[in-house]
Structure 1
């Protein structure tokens, strides 16, 4: 298993370490020119402060990476971006951007989505591996099964083993095997958006601010932040879906309730969608669950 040690902004770290209740964080990269691809979901992303603080001070389980408009990153993660508000976030991002500051531009940033973040107390900080170079700009990867990654893993376990979500039966033998991350709300939104290639599953609408990641079965009803429990919908369709005026059958066909016409004497644009096929994600793993869709048909749809 691999880990990535990413150079971390002090202000980002300093704010987030005071928020132990957070289930996810967005480790942003200011340029937005290249997507992070160094880890697989469930592998470990570690926070290393800028020199001269040459310490690893926390980490999280990698879930996904994306390139997003900064406004969407803020909408999805809020203070889990390591800033008190969007103005402060933009200020911190723009410190590192080579382009001139333009507060009217919804520029793209890199987003590394991390679940179950942990932040070490200062007396737990772990020194960087012996082969760490001061010339590293963004970070570097380590194989945790061989040196020096093996020693790094052992030191992390000593510092905060419980935070690493290690499977007990494997940890006894020192093998770095991590569980797949449980998604938070923000990560669910971004991953569903990317799974549907940023197009509404019902209309192919691509205007990103008009799209929402909808839960098929609500999180509050044990639906979970799972991609197979999601649909990317235009916001008006999301509202109708949640209220039972629109559903999707287990064989991925749109159904529109007659109640729209009966209650609102309208709905012509929506009835055009009735009987149309839903465009599923390209990755079969991300296709909406037939079980969740059946639940929505039976328990939410107004018929």
Structure 2
């Protein structure tokens, strides 16, 4: 059974993103106190404007949900949060939380992030009227089963509109008209959040938990053909990430952390890193994000300085 979720959407968020055509967006909520579990990755997330504009105006493919500190959500997605600047984002969140923008900036609160790929923003003549069973007092949104009733009608209407857009191939429906799950194609921001959460927000090598200094590292760089996928990522402390990218450290076939002798030779330093040599690289808590053996082999053969 494939589901979709119709989410109450801020008009300013929609209008801003409709002009830029991003490959991914962060549909955020001002509070990060609850977890979003209405969809599985690959299901559809629909945008419905606040009343009185009772229309569904676009959609995206759900990728991942997380509660992130405001600053990290901005670092990961920037203007793909639907705002021009971090200051504007603080002001928007302050409006919903009924706080001052300066207080929001200072407290750096967790916000709810629903990360969507292949977003589609429709022109006015393609907007879909809200479902007949939509309650006007709905605050967050409502889920639908696409096998029958209003859910099936919505999926059909969305399919017609997505067929006109670049996101057609992302639609969770096969050529026989049967809803199916598709694998979301992650962007850089989604990759960062997925890897961060997959490792329980802890460096796979050092165990560091200070979130602002943890990076989602590509094992095989995106510029060298590596995908934005969990299996091509490691969560590393910022300094270890830098050394990994430069080839001074790697991961061997037994998942052990290896430090190159070149680190000492080139910089006459590195004792703290040699102390980690031979440490077991911790696996992610999310099994689907386990590092690809092919990607790690590529790093050893093409990046590691030996």
Distance 1:43 1:196 in 2: 24
Of 92, 113, 116, 1:114 maps to 116
Residue 284 of structure 2 corresponds to which residue in structure 1? 281
- SS of 1:148's partner is helix
Cα deviation for residue 293 of structure 1 reads 0.5
Hey, what does 1:65 align to over in structure 2? 65
**How much does 1:160 deviate?**
3.1
SS class of match (2:149): coil
Do the aligned residues in 2 keep the contact of 1:57 with 1:125 (CA within 8 Å)?
yes
How many angstroms apart in 2 are the aligned matches of 1:159 and 1:153?
Answer: 10
Count of aligned positions? 302
**Aligned runs of 1:162-177 on 2, under 5 Å?**
162-163=164-165, 165=168, 171-177=174-180
Task: Return the TM-score normalized by structure 1.
Answer: 0.96
- Could you give the per-residue CA deviations for residues 55-111 of structure 1, whole angstroms, max 9, x where no partner exists? 000010000000001100000001000000100011112211145551312111000
Deviation at 1:249?
1.2
Query: Which residue of the partner structure matches residue 29 of structure 2?
Result: 29
Quote the RMSD (CA, aligned, Å). 1.6
Deviation at 1:154, TM superposition (A): 1.6
CA displacement at 1:168 relative to structure 2: 9.4
Large movers: runs of 4+ above 3 Å:
98-101, 162-173
Q: Distance in 2 between matches of 1:100 and 1:85?
A: 17
Q: Which runs of 5+ in 1 are unaligned?
A: none
Unaligned segments of structure 2, at least 5 residues: none
Question: How far apart, CA to CA, are the structure 2 residues paired with 1:159 and 1:255?
Answer: 51
Distance (whole Å) between structure 2 residues aligned to residue 240 and residue 160 of structure 1: 43
**Do the aligned residues in 2 keep the contact of 1:251 with 1:290 (CA within 8 Å)?**
no
Indicate which of 132, 135, 141 corresponds to 2:134: 132
CA distance in 2, matches of 1:92, 1:191: 25
Q: CA shift at 1:165, angstroms?
A: 3.5
Residues 1:291 and 2:299 aligned together: no
